[in-house]
Chains A and B, each alone.
Chain A
Amino acid sequence: MKSIHEFLTNPAETTRREGPHNRIVMSSRVRLARNLKGFAFPGWAKKPERIRALEAIRPAVEGLPQMADSFSETMDNLTALEKTLLVERHLISREHAAKNVGSGLVVNHEESLCVMINEEDHLRMQALRPGLQLKQAWSALDAVDSKLEKKLDYAFNPTLGYLTACPTNLGTGIRVSAMLHLPGLVLAEQINQIIQAVNKLGLAVRGLHGEGTEALGNVFQVSNQMTLGENEADIVERLNKVLSQLIEHEENARAMLLDKKPKVVFNHIGRAYGILANAHSISSKETMNLLSLMRLGVDLNMFPEVNRALIDELFIITQPAHLQKQFSEKLGAEERDILRADMLRQRLRHVHRPSIEQAREAGLKMDKSKEP
């Protein structure tokens, strides 16, 4: 069988997939939590019980038509490097990466459907789409769930809905989320205000890797928190509305910055380009933060020959596990920083210095076409 990194699609290809509003919305995701009747939840079940649950679930998931071309493995058969790779691709949670015997993973070839078995719940299934496509992700996952419920006996209570290990997921068990790139709101120092406003609407704003993580590279995850007392379609719709407002706020912040503080914007982007294209040692965190600024530069038309997909690809392949997998010998953090810088210089060698004229024009255009 192929190893997970042979199976997964090359980031050069996945990042080229287009979706609505993908200048700001990097991806959409819907997750459902489900448990089996008659089995203790994975966090409380003893090893033999977890293994029995895994053995009941895994064939049912593998047998889905949506999983015809899929990778399926138990977590104990994956190396630490492979697990980190999956985290960097946002296919599994960091919690799931820590699992071993009795937990498993099934992911399809397009990386649009991924099922974690015995994470916090027996089943954590998720559908992923590029850009803003929450409804599409929900209907795809709804179909998967309807197929699975015919083969698996779910723990369901008419009053409380789908029963989950954590009461925060009770009811629909749904988590609808989008990954947003918001450099404009960060540079304009409006991000905290926006986060507070979004929180007040009962939505959570988190960092790059979800709960308790930092917003590296100005990437934020916005998701629903409440799962009981509201149906799935309404949750999706509510998030959709908030997201289109966030998109507008981000566009406004960018236009305002170009208008009021163009030098600040150009300075940030110019320096980001300078460092990324010329450094000889650079950390993963610095890379992400600078790539974010370059991505903004691409959006502002300051790098006419650069496709946004290149930046998104670099965002993934410069992360530690992706970098490590290209080299056979184990790398230390310092060696990785040097190799990361080598890779960035190589990949950015034909990229010209940011052009200010184009950005000014783009700013004017953006102002005129600001209406959503």
Chain B
Amino acid sequence: MQKVDLCEDCAKHKGVNDPTGFSLADLLLGLGAGQEIAQSAGGAEIKCPNCGFTQADFKKSGRLGCAECYVTFSEGLEGLLKTMHKGTRHVGKVPQALQESRDLNEKLKSLQKKLDKAVAEEDFEQAVAVRDEIKTTKDKLQELKT
């Protein structure tokens, strides 16, 4: 580590206090990430069809262009995410509407199984009850989507 004492003018000149200048960590990270993506692309330039962001842009800033970029650059990003994070799959908060529709879809699946079983066993009373439940679950799911 090297310590440097600068006067206010020199600091300005060197851009030490420039809030727009990005930090060294960002720079290094960006470069590493950019290389990773370039390698996976086999030299061909990938461009996000949604926002026009390229791997060269990523190399420059270490930031992506839009949410779709995660799909566009997914191959190159995977290795990067592995080194950066604890895992490569999200665990944690999910927007409530999404969580609810997930839960309802799960419920639908198990109800369908129950229905099949009831029909196979010729338990028609049960089958009618399950069919009604499937209908209300589907209605709820539809409600969420609108």
Binding site for B on A (CB under 8 A): 35, 37, 39-41, 43-44, 87, 94-95, 97-98, 120, 142, 145-146, 149-150, 154-163, 165-168, 170-172, 174, 202, 211-212, 226-232, 333
Q: Which residue of A lies closest to B91 (CB)?
A: A231
Tell me which residues from 56 to 97 in chain B have a Cβ below 8 Å from any Cβ of chain A. 57, 61-67, 70, 77, 80-81, 84-97
Query: Which residues does chain A contribute within 8 Å of B26, judged by CB atoms?
Result: 211
Among the interface residues B19, B33, B92, B95, which one has the most CB atoms of the partner chain A within 10 A?
A: B92
Q: Which residue of A lies closest to B50 (CB)?
A: A40
B29 within 8 A of A: yes
Contact B63 A165 (CB under 8 A): yes
Contact B67 A163 (CB under 8 A): yes
Contact B92 A231 (CB under 8 A): yes
Contact B64 A165 (CB under 8 A): yes
- Bound-state CA distance A296–B65 (Å) is 46
A-B CB proximity, top 3 nearest: A229-B87, A161-B90, A212-B23
Looking at chain B's contact residues, is the secondary structure mostly helix, strand, loop, or mixed? loop
Contact B19 A157 (CB under 8 A): no
Within the complex, what minimum Cβ distance (angstroms) separates A304 from chain B? 36
Residue from the list A149, A163, A172, A232 in contact with B95, Cβ < 8 A: A149
Contact of A98 with B64 at beta-carbon distance under 8 Å, contacts A159-B90, A228-B90 already known: no
Query: Which residues does chain A contribute within 8 Å of B62, judged by CB atoms?
Result: 166
Listed A/B pairs (21) with beta-carbon separation below 8 Å:
A39-B66, A43-B61, A44-B53, A87-B19, A97-B19, A98-B19, A150-B96, A155-B67, A156-B95, A157-B67, A157-B70, A157-B90, A161-B90, A171-B85, A171-B91, A172-B90, A212-B23, A226-B85, A227-B85, A228-B86, A231-B91
Contact A212 B25 (CB under 8 A): yes
Known: A165-B64, A167-B80. 13 other contacts (CB 8 A): A44-B64, A157-B67, A160-B70, A166-B63, A170-B85, A212-B24, A226-B84, A226-B85, A227-B85, A228-B86, A229-B91, A230-B87, A230-B92
Query: Which residues does chain B contribute within 8 Å of A158, judged by CB atoms?
Result: 90, 94, 98
- Bound-state CA distance A149–B33 (Å) is 30
B142 within 8 A of A: no
Contact B20 A228 (CB under 8 A): no
Within the complex, what minimum Cβ distance (angstroms) separates A51 from chain B? 17
Contact of A229 with B63 at beta-carbon distance under 8 Å, contacts A149-B97, A161-B92, A212-B23 already known: no
Query: Which residues does chain A contribute within 8 Å of B92, judged by CB atoms?
Result: 161, 171-172, 174, 230-232
Contact A40 B51 (CB under 8 A): yes
